[in-house]
Amino acid sequence: MKNLFIILFFMPALIFAQDKIKGMVMEPSPQGQHFPLSGANVIWEGTSVGTITDIDGNFTLPYESSYKRLIISYIGYKSKIIDVKNLNTVIHILLQPTDDLEEVTVTTRKKASATSYLASQNITTISSKELLKAACCNLSESFETNPSIDVNFTDAISGTKQIKMLGLTSPYILIATENVPSVRGASQAYGLSFIPGTWVESIQVTKGAGSVTNGFESIAGQINAELVKPSSDKKFFVNAYGSINGRLELNTHFNTKLNEKWSTGVYIHGDRRGEKFDNNRDSFLDLPVGNQINVMNRWQYTNLEKGLISFLNFRFLDDKKQSGQINYDPNVHKFGNAVWGSEVDTRRFDFSGKFGYVNPKIPYQSLGLQLSYSRHDQNSYFGNRIYDINHKSLYSNLVYNSIISDSRHKIKTGIGFSHDTYEEQVNTTDYSRNENSIGGFFEYSFDDLDAINLTAGVRIDHHNLMGTFVTPRFHARYTPWEKSALRFSFGRGKRAANIFAENQRLFASSRTINIQNTGGNIYGLNPEIAWNYGISFLQGFQLFDRKADINIDFYRTDFQNQVVVDYETPTEINFYNLDGESFANSFQVEFNYTPLERLDLKSAYKYYDVKTQYQSGKLQKPLTPKHRVFANASYETQPSTKGGLWKFDATYNWIGEQRFSSTMQSPEAFRLNSHSPTFSTLNAQVTKVFSDQFEVYLGGENITNVRQENPILSANNPFGANFDSTFVYGPIFGSMYYAGLRFKLN
């Protein structure tokens, strides 16, 4: 291992012992001056070795004795061929505009979300424009218009939404904020609701095992949320929101440019739900009441001359939720047996810092350091059950980027360290532990600048509870013909399951908790290990002279070990190590089409086959539909001279039947059918943009008013043996309508 680490960290130093040529490409101005030309193509004649000029018009290329002439080109300019005779001087090249071209105006409209044709990984980028198609009050609500992510309520009491990808729940997805893992450990259940939607600039969704750079825990995929930047966000922004379910929300951004290098922003989020609803008359709140205050201070430093950039974030959150029976008063009924209630109080402090250096003379050489610290305190009880968790987390990651030989061959290498302290109490039992891991990684990327690129990475980590292990990841993209991308990937992931933090819905029931196979190091259980394999094909084409594309993918996740969460015995929940086969197959077909200017249509069909070997047999995973259909339509009117326009958006979801955990051993009054009924929902939003500064929106969720009947078993006897709120397959509240406004100053 020692030799491997030496190779990882000193290999980059060996790649610079070769000749290079430097230059600058410029364009003339009507006043006779010369300005840098960014994005010009520079390539050695007769080779595929090339690059593009940076923002200052500069370029650097490797040189070999066989390279004689440079070809410089840019659309709208006359191409130039330069004979290279001397490597010791910087070449200055002036491109002249073509004189024989008539004036042509090219307009294009960037899609709100799109899958990359060029990346080796299967990455879909969701822009802020896409996020505005729905209320998107927080990150958990930001995927309603994306077919790759499923959003479901976890239970009938907490009101918590959980996301799924490739048929697997969020613990199997690496969720990061600006590539720093953020929703993990104690924050798994509620963490997505702690990131306000207005703070998010864009989201990158990666299917399959992601990059080794970000750690070893990712299994089903990665979700990375990029936050708004103080230097580019509006100086002042306010978003006010209100809904008929009693939710009020206010978001404000204040950004200031202190000088040429420093910018800072203060972002404040507050929401409150004080009104109680029991539309199904089961005596329990349909949605919890409570409030949240969330404040972030963000600093940005940019020095392009020296190649330095850094971000510093400080955040404090205070979140309080109360749920349970509608007449529950914690001052009167807490820990009693008369009225069932629950409170979840969370306080969280985060710090994160990113420090980057890009060599101004060698732009492809960079060094980045990521640091983060968080403290998460949750004090909660569910009826007479206590669940408290304190999680302190320290994360660091050092990443070095460079090339081998030329820009077609890129490398990343670095080292990461993390420390997690858990103080966890379930009733009177203490499950405290410490986790430490340190690892090194190396990732190689090849791009022939035409039809093929690939990324291959490996990391070696040592974890105090999981031992020493290797994590390989591989992604490849091939373009067989124009506007196509055929991808293949495989990778391994390993993680320690936080069985209580990830399954807090179990506390909203009377099930007894049993942990079996007590020979492991984490709750007496072994770590989870899985391999993910995927293949996808993206094809763009013209349909009736309009843009369209189709994306087909299939992914399979095979578990070597899994912590099985077994609800198959009605009055129990059992945790044990997998003994047998567990897999998740995911197939998706997505079709996107623009039949008219400013009208976008998006549709998808998904098939899931997710099975696990339980002690009672191999069964389909509960509450995971095999079939889903998704459709979205969005339209914008032609903008006026002042920027005013209308926006319309509608999303339809059809969800197939879902298997319930077995209730055959329950008394007859509490037995359910083996599967849930199918149902469909419709969401819609209309936005009126008055100008670049002001807009209002009105929307509705679940307009079809679908409601799950009797979502809580034994609701009239919540302290009895059959009380259970975990059999939730669909909406509980019914139709929900909202309105809001956005105001901004540049």
Task: Name which of 70-79, 291-300, 368-377 the model is least confident about.
Answer: 70-79
CA-nearest of 275, 100, 209 to 495 is 209
Q: Do domains 2-94 and 227-745 have the same CATH topology?
A: no
What string of H, E and C letters represents the secondary structure of 87-110?
CCCCEEEECCECCCCCCCCCCCCC
Q: What is the 3-state secondary structure (H, E, C) of 672-718?
A: CCCECCCEEEEEEEEEEECCCCEEEEEEEECCCCCCCCCCCECCCCC
Q: How many CA atoms lie within 13 A of 661 on its CB side?
A: 21
Running DSSP on this structure, what letter comes out for residue 213?
G
DSSP states of 481-540 as a string?
STTEEEEEEEEEEEE---TTTTTGGGGSB-PEEEE--TTSSBTTBPPEEEEEEEEEEEEE
186's CB contacts (< 8 A; 6+ apart) are 376, 378, 389, 390, 391, 422, 498, 501
State the pLDDT at residue 285.
96
Overall average pLDDT of the 298-312 stretch: 92
688 touches 696 (CB < 8 A): yes
| pLDDT tens readout for residues 554-597 | 999 999 999 999 999 999 999 999 999 999 999 999 999 999 99
Residue 402 and residue 13 in contact, taking contact as beta carbons nearer than 8 Å: no
- Nearest C-alpha neighbor of 559 from the set 586, 534, 523, 584: 584
Above pLDDT 70, what percent of the chain?
93
Query: Which percentage of the chain shows pLDDT scores above 90?
Result: 73
Structure confidence by residue, pLDDT tens digits, 508-531: 999 999 999 788 999 999 999 999
Question: Please, are residues 473 and 492 in contact by the beta-carbon 8 Å criterion?
Answer: yes
pLDDT in tens, 718-728: 999 999 999 99
Average pLDDT over residues 480-484: 91
Task: Indicate whether 29 pLDDT > 60.
Answer: no
Extents of the domains making up the chain: 2-94, 227-745
How deeply is 89 buried, as exposed, middle or buried, from its count of CB atoms within 10 A (0-12, 13-18, 19+)?
Answer: exposed
Q: What is the mean pLDDT of the chain?
A: 90
User: What average pLDDT does this structure show over 497-513?
Assistant: 96
pTM of the predicted protein model = 0.85
> Which region among 23-32, 448-457, 555-564 has the lowest average model confidence (pLDDT)?
23-32
Section 136-148 average pLDDT: 86
In tens, the pLDDT along 389-442 reads: 999 999 999 999 999 988 889 999 999 999 999 999 999 999 999 999 999 999
Residue 110's pLDDT is: 64
What is the predicted pLDDT for the residue at 161?
A: 84
| Helix, strand, or coil (residue 7) | helix
Please tell me the distance from the alpha carbon of residue 30 to that of residue 407, in angstroms, as a whole number: 34
Q: What is the pLDDT of residues 115-139, one digit of tens each?
A: 888 889 999 999 888 888 887 788 8
**Confidence (pLDDT) at 3:** 47
- pLDDT tops 60 at residue 108: no
Name the strands in the sheet holding 180-181, side by side, starting at the edge strand that comes first in the sequence: 113-115, 122-127, 200-207, 221-227, 173-177, 180-181
State which H helix or E strand residue 349 sits in: strand 341-358
Checking if the pLDDT of 100 tops 50, the result is: no
Token pair for 128? 């802020």
Contact 418/395 with Cβ under 8 angstroms?
A: yes
pLDDT in tens, 223-269: 999 999 999 899 999 999 999 999 999 999 999 999 999 999 999 99
Contact 659, 649 (CB under 8 A): no
Is 320 in contact with 338 (CB distance < 8 Å)? no
What's the rounded mean pLDDT across residues 456-468? 97
Contact 527, 508 (CB under 8 A): no
Rounded (10°) CA dihedral 507, 512, 518, 523 = 10
- Return the residue matching tokens 């089961």: 282
39: left (phi over 0), alpha (psi -120 to 50) or beta: left
Q: In angstroms, what CA-CA distances link 555 with 537, 606, 711?
A: 12, 12, 32
Window from 10-14, 620-624, 646-650, 736-740 with minimum mean pLDDT? 10-14
- Cα separation, 550 vs 158, in Å, equals 38
Structure tokens at 721: 């043996």
Confidence band for 10, pLDDT divided at 50, 70 and 90: very low
Length of the chain: 746
Rounded Cα distance between 127 and 582, Å, is 35
Residue 99 makes CB contacts below 8 A (sequence gap 6+) with none
Give CA–CA dist 555/608, Å, rounded.
10
Scored b (16 or more CB within 10 A) or e, 696-722 reads ebebbbbbbebbbeebbbbbeebeeeb
> Rounded CA gap, 233 and 201, in Å?
9
With CA atoms as reference, report the closest residue to 737 among 247, 323, 213, 379. Answer: 247
Reported as a single tens digit per residue, the pLDDT across 269-287 is: 999 999 999 999 999 999 9
Whole-number CA gyration radius for the chain: 27
Asked if the 227-745 domain carries CATH number 3.30.720.200, the reply is no
- Binned at pLDDT 50, 70 and 90, residue 50 comes out as confident
Distance from C-alpha of 737 to C-alpha of 702, rounded to nearest angstrom:
9
Cα distance between residue 486 and residue 600, in whole Å = 24
pLDDT bucket at 464, cuts 50 / 70 / 90: very high
Average pLDDT of the segment spanning 297-310 = 92
Judge whether residue 359 has pLDDT over 90.
no
Question: Under CATH, what is the fold of the domain 2-94?
Answer: Immunoglobulin-like (2.60.40)
Q: So what's the pLDDT on residue 98? A: 63
Segment 683-701 shows an average pLDDT of 95
Q: Which of 120, 149, 171, 221 is nearest to 533 (CA)?
A: 221
Residue 28 predicted with pLDDT over 80: no
